[in-house]
Amino acid sequence: MLQHETILILDFGSQYTQLIARRVREQGVYCEIHPFHLSADAIAAKRPKGVILSGGPSSVTDEDAPRVEERFYDKVNTPILGICYGMQLVAIDLGGKSAPAARREYGHAKLKVLSGKTRLFDELPFDLDVWMSHGDHVTDLPPGFHKTATTGDVVTAMENDERRIYCVQFHPEVSHTPLGKEILRNFLFNICGCSGDWTPSGFIKEEIEKIRAIVGETDRVICGLSGGVDSTVAAVLVHEAIGDRQTCIFVNNGLLRYREFEDTLQVYKDNLHLNVIGVDASQDFYMVLEGVSDPEKKRKAIGAKFIDVFQAEADKIKDANWLVQGTLYPDVIESVSVRGASVTIKTHHNVGGLPEKMNLKLIEPLRELFKDEVRLIGKDLGIPEEILGRHPFPGPGLGVRILGDITPEKVELLQKADKIFIEELHNFDLYEDVWQAFAVLLPIQSVGVMGDFRTYEKTVALRAVTSTDGMTADWARLSHDLLAAVSSRITSEVRGVNRVVYDITSKPPGTIEWE
């Protein structure tokens, strides 16, 4: 990639860190997320236009609270924005004081800007709605700082314009802070002097040149296709660079959506003109999944079998030195713990998946991008909406949407139920209004009545969420008419299901997927 003006975000473990990055990118400014312990020398070497200190779950008063290097503020000669925990950290590090609040401030708050002479709140109203999430508050400002905003008697913003350090206690990156975008824009353009030279579409030309340079004129490339947005955009981007020297392998693991393997394979060949091999390995996957109920074991079994199948096909391709993966920036970030070893919520299916024994070097053309940027690039590359507009789909497919053990019969049942749900979303013109929608097959049966007969059959749960990035999500308020139509069709058309329920859990506390 060419050298763009860059904002560095130091991550202290906030659930919103990726959201900060997306908001910066939306302003046309390239940014990167790094762990909080990135050295001051490494930060200075990157010559950022500015640095943002994220929020985080810790208290700055904790003995093991995450901190930047002691010489960070002197070594990094660039504007700094501290958000939430970042504000507390600045206060403590530069001679102020912070203490636990009498009560945790969480949710909506009314902020009062104290003076129009503040660059961070330039041309904004004096009264702002903001979103709070903190347990500490600044009690004494560091020398040289003055408060610029309050909520009640709490210092909500402070700055030292001479040192170019600006801090806010609230979260400007979330949608619950309506003018947060303007606050970040003031930091990026008025304070850091950014021009906004980052555009996803401009990325295409740069990446094609980069791929050609690293692959050379003779090397061959292998790409694993999943049928989803990420791998498809990666494959088409590489195809634009080197043409048929890329061979794509599309494996049917028997856990895809209804007819997805057949229909998508045709799009790959006829519409996108990719050099693609389709491999139906459904029965191989069903065999290794027989009797496996634990979700993490299912993921690992599916991943291991995919590697076996993929490697067998890849070995047939001579002179291949490179492997293309549709790794996205969130995949990269989530695979690097802020504090080191972290709790595994679920095994990620992309980063570090294929074994070193394949002896292939990686090409990850999308590893600097977020999902929304990938879709924009895919549109510029001419990828049809039937692929670009698809809802996210987990790597293990229906394997993690069938709770309990997996059989071909259960897969077929869930495929039919899921197909009906998606069809009705389209019929009601609501498919594009939700981030993700799908059916889940539950490992329970219940009593029902069909005609004159008593039944004891399976239950299907419907899940639909609204979101901007999948990091947080709310359950979709689908119309009763839609839900009634879906329930009626599933119980009538899918033999073996006599009950349909709707999941109304947000993320957090739940996850989007059930496993």
Active-site annotation, residues: 84, 171, 173
Give, rounded to a whole angstrom, the gap between the first and last alpha carbons of the chain.
36
353-381: buried (b, 16+ CB within 10 Å) or exposed (e) per residue?
bbeeeeebeebbbbbbbbbebbbbbbbeb
What is the rounded distance in angstroms from the CA atom of residue 371 to the CA atom of residue 389?
A: 11
* Token code pair at residue 155: 């210092």
On the 0-12 / 13-18 / 19+ scale of CB atoms within 10 A, 246 is buried
* Token code pair at residue 126: 């004096």
On the 0-12 / 13-18 / 19+ scale of CB atoms within 10 A, 32 is middle
Angle (CA) 70 72 74, round 5°:
105
Please say whether the beta carbons of 334 and 382 come within 8 A.
no
Amino acid at site 223: C
Q: In degrees rounded to 5, what are phi and psi of residue 210?
A: -65, -45
Q: Please write down the HEC assignment for all residues of 54-94.
A: CCCCCCCCCCCCCCCCCCHHHHCCCCEEEECHHHHHHHHHC
| Stretch (H or E) spanning 26 | helix 17-26
* Token code pair at residue 403: 């709770």
